[in-house]
Amino acid sequence: MIDFAATRRLFHLPEGMIYLDGNSLGPLPVAAEARVAGVMRGEWGGQLIKAWNTADWINLPRRVGDRIGTLIGAPAGSVATGDTLSIKVFQALSAALAMRPERRVVLSDTGNFPSDLYIAQGLLQALGRGLELRLVAPEDVADAIDESVAVTLITEVDYRTGRMHDMAALTAKAHAAGAIAVWDLAHSAGAIPVDLTAADADFAVGCTYKYLNGGPGAPAFIYVAPRFAESAQPILSGWMGHEAPFAFDLDYRPHASVERMRVGTPPVLALAVLDAALDAWEGVDMADIRVQSTRLSERFIAEVEARCPDLDLASPRDPHARGSQVSFRHPQGYAIMQALIANGVVGDFRAPDLIRFGFTPLYLSEDEVVDAARILERVMTERLWDDPAYATRSAVT
Amino acid sequence: MIDFAATRRLFHLPEGMIYLDGNSLGPLPVAAEARVAGVMRGEWGGQLIKAWNTADWINLPRRVGDRIGTLIGAPAGSVATGDTLSIKVFQALSAALAMRPERRVVLSDTGNFPSDLYIAQGLLQALGRGLELRLVAPEDVADAIDESVAVTLITEVDYRTGRMHDMAALTAKAHAAGAIAVWDLAHSAGAIPVDLTAADADFAVGCTYKYLNGGPGAPAFIYVAPRFAESAQPILSGWMGHEAPFAFDLDYRPHASVERMRVGTPPVLALAVLDAALDAWEGVDMADIRVQSTRLSERFIAEVEARCPDLDLASPRDPHARGSQVSFRHPQGYAIMQALIANGVVGDFRAPDLIRFGFTPLYLSEDEVVDAARILERVMTERLWDDPAYATRSAVT
């Protein structure tokens, strides 16, 4: 079993804050500070352009991709890193659509993260040819997969409720109908066990600033099933995905691997921070994380339900049916979360009425979870949220 | 006039290195180290998710964009930052093409940076509808603009030779033919005076890791002429370009400004580094930079031509016709550059036979330029390049 007291020491955690928002932005890994200082002073500062070779910056995206791969059941050489999750959704969806030129439907659900839907809308509008984004309720996805569907574009764990899709079952159903399965792992990677190989996923994408603790706006990743590594068509055909970027040919020829999903010059500093953040995952078995995450979330639900009768559980009650987060509903959810934050418990709010809490065993203890429930109880019973200061919404919560 | 001795102190420059590759990767700004340490420890580490508001991370892309705008003749609110240059080329070209749906030709030149051409190829292939990328020699662009052209996609300064296009004249010609003008400022921003407003450019894109010293893989930028701010169609319609990202609507509605060209979650650490790098440009008049840059490059050409008869000038001899870089040709160019680097003068090599040198007045002195020419003379006369160690090409030069 993991020594969670030891993994907790790998992170900077502010005194007096109980952090239940690692599902939105993970904390600063201690190792990241020294790493980025070294990259700046020693590599960029000391070697300048030569560091692309001497510090092997050029292969950093691949090395980081392989490390992420170990957490999501992806073999070495099947994960590329860089850009943002929205860009990676665009790449995966475009490549998947190109594999089913005779079909017209992209199937997704109303619980998908809006940016995935927006990106699909922008791509489909640009491509024309009668393509359609079909949205169904999350629980209706399986039934909606039929032979009209070109691509299923599904986020495994619902960002609002934590409700989890069955990746292996939906992928099998998509394949049986002749569709390509694209999975978004934004709330999965580092949160729950994922096995892309066993699930037979075609493409997967994800971000690294949540459970992987890569920092605000950290680089994203994309997985391409090895069977498609030499055929997936990159719409964002930038020079770093070229077979020979430094030949400076006038014609694009994609690299014969997942590297074709690289686009522009890699964000070296951000990748170095992410690389340092991944140190905390060395030797960690996601099955152990899952056991502890379930323990934490079950305890939190039990404590909150016993203490706060006005809050309604919005997440699946069955822990096997949810990821590593729990949400409750209340009409005053926004003000409640603001009051909770002011009292040292940081979760977040999602419109219209959800207060949301993430469970991250690497640095969150069961005692903190109980304390958070106690403070939430006080916010509710003393109506601390009923303060005009908490009525105005700020840009990000 | 600028106090260049003072601006030089704003950068870390390794002892014993003459750096003539700021056109590829600018040096580490001293201010960037403290800035990134503060963002990591104080903001990310100390405030976690709250820093999106408390440290105003959410508006960082716009603030940095406005600072870049002052260097390229773009008004406040017309420049968005993020992603990579290749992504920004994709956005600009796609939006421009959507404005001329009845035309079929994207006009570019064989001196354009290959990634721009690759991106165009990927986009045109995906869009279909008979679109064509038409490439002509750099000097033939003006004559090739006719009423078949939907979009001109031109990099102002040639990455190999430094040859400069006349932005105002080509834009006027494009407009007279009914085409949309997209400009790539990769080798212009911070290198030469640029006035997008006076030139009446429609779109412009650029990177920030060269003359702007934003660090390896630093975020890119895109300019949208204010007349198109509310109509340019974003193909990469990510949530950060939405009118109300945190409403989490299921339908995309673009922001009524250049912000619609934002895509995913902004790379906060990299933007903070870039923001610190831009401090060095505060109060700097690009006209003064141009005078000094011309002095440096003219001196370098004169010294090299006097000392190294085997090297052929590949750049325009007229300083008004080139940017802030100079290239020479030699069949053994790769080995010559390797020998030069080993002797403390860092430039770079571009296939098949160019040795390339950038001139960056903020931190490069005329004495260094003369010393570099002397060392190059020694490499040539003593045939230092004729060493087997310099025969193998590494990934990046």
Whether residues B33 and A41 touch (CB distance < 8 A) is answered with yes
In a domain, A396, yes or no: no
If asked whether residues B318 and B261 sit together in one domain, one would say no
Of the pLDDT bands very low, low, confident and very high (cuts 50, 70, 90), residue B397 is: very low
Q: Catalytic: B357?
A: no
If asked whether residues B379 and B266 sit together in one domain, one would say no
Q: Is A123 on the interface with B (CB under 8 A)?
A: yes
- B273-320, pLDDT tens digit by residue? 999 999 999 999 999 999 999 999 999 999 999 999 999 999 999 999
If asked whether residues B164 and B306 sit together in one domain, one would say no
Q: Parallel, antiparallel, or unpaired for β A220-224 and A79-82?
A: antiparallel
In a domain, B51, yes or no: no
Q: What pLDDT, on the 0 to 100 scale, is given for residue A395?
A: 43
Domain boundary among A265, A281, A297: A281
In a domain, A397, yes or no: no
In a domain, B136, yes or no: yes
In a domain, B79, yes or no: yes
In a domain, A247, yes or no: yes
Chain A residues inside the 8 Å CB shell of B209: 265
What is the signed CA dihedral for A207, A210, A213, A219, rounded to 10 degrees? 20
Distance of CA A106 to the CA centre of its chain: 21
pLDDT reading at B22 higher than 60: yes
If asked whether residues B316 and B269 sit together in one domain, one would say no
In a domain, A376, yes or no: yes
Helices A268-278 and B268-278, interaxial angle, to 10°? 140
Q: What pLDDT, on the 0 to 100 scale, is given for residue B396?
A: 47
Q: Is A342 on the interface with B (CB under 8 A)?
A: no
Tokens of A207: 């971000």
Beta bridge partners of B152: B107, B181
If asked whether residues B309 and B268 sit together in one domain, one would say no
Q: Where are the beta strands (DSSP E) in B202-263?
A: 203-206, 220-224
If asked whether residues B262 and B295 sit together in one domain, one would say no
Supply the range of the domain harboring residue B178: 56-281
Mean pLDDT of chain B: 96
For the question of an ipTM over 0.85, the answer is yes
If asked whether residues B161 and B18 sit together in one domain, one would say no
Q: Catalytic: B184?
A: yes
A348: CATH: 3.90.1150.10
Chain B residues inside the 8 Å CB shell of A207: 265
Give, for all 397 residues of chain A, the pLDDT tens digit. Answer: 899 999 999 999 999 999 999 999 999 999 999 999 999 999 999 999 999 999 999 999 999 999 999 999 999 999 999 999 999 999 999 999 999 999 999 999 999 999 999 999 999 999 998 999 999 999 999 999 999 999 999 999 999 999 999 999 999 999 999 999 999 999 999 999 999 999 999 999 999 999 999 999 999 999 999 999 999 999 999 999 999 999 999 999 999 999 999 999 999 999 999 999 999 999 999 999 999 999 999 999 999 999 999 999 999 999 999 999 999 999 999 999 999 999 999 999 998 899 999 999 999 999 999 999 999 999 999 999 998 888 766 544 4
Chain A residues inside the 8 Å CB shell of B12: 41, 45-46
If asked whether residues B290 and B229 sit together in one domain, one would say no
- B218-276, pLDDT tens digit by residue? 999 999 999 999 999 999 999 999 999 999 999 999 999 999 999 999 999 999 999 99
A155: CATH: 3.40.640.10
Q: Catalytic: A210?
A: yes
Domain boundary among A233, A256, A281: A281
Domain boundary among B224, B258, B281: B281
In chain A, the number of structural domains is 2
- B62-121, pLDDT tens digit by residue? 999 999 999 999 999 999 999 999 999 999 999 999 999 999 999 999 999 999 999 999
Q: Which amino acid is at B42?
A: G
Helix (H, G, I), strand (E, B) or coil at A11: strand
Q: What pLDDT, on the 0 to 100 scale, is given for residue A391?
A: 72
Tokens of A81: 């890193």
If asked whether residues A275 and A295 sit together in one domain, one would say no
If asked whether residues A85 and A151 sit together in one domain, one would say yes
If asked whether residues B276 and B306 sit together in one domain, one would say no
By C-alpha distance, the chain A residue nearest B394 is A53
Beta bridge partners of A80: A222
Q: Looking at CA atoms only, how far is residue A365 from chain B in angstroms?
A: 18
Whether residues B252 and A127 touch (CB distance < 8 A) is answered with no
Annotated binding-site residue numbers of A for pyridoxal 5'-phosphate = 85-86, 113-116, 155, 184, 187, 209, 239, 265
Of the pLDDT bands very low, low, confident and very high (cuts 50, 70, 90), residue B387 is: confident
Whether residues B238 and A84 touch (CB distance < 8 A) is answered with yes
In a domain, B34, yes or no: no
> Please, are residues A157 and A164 in contact by the beta-carbon 8 Å criterion?
yes
Cα(A209)–Cα(A186) distance, rounded to whole angstroms? Answer: 9
Q: What pLDDT, on the 0 to 100 scale, is given for residue B390?
A: 83
If asked whether residues B171 and B147 sit together in one domain, one would say yes
Average pLDDT over residues B6-16: 96
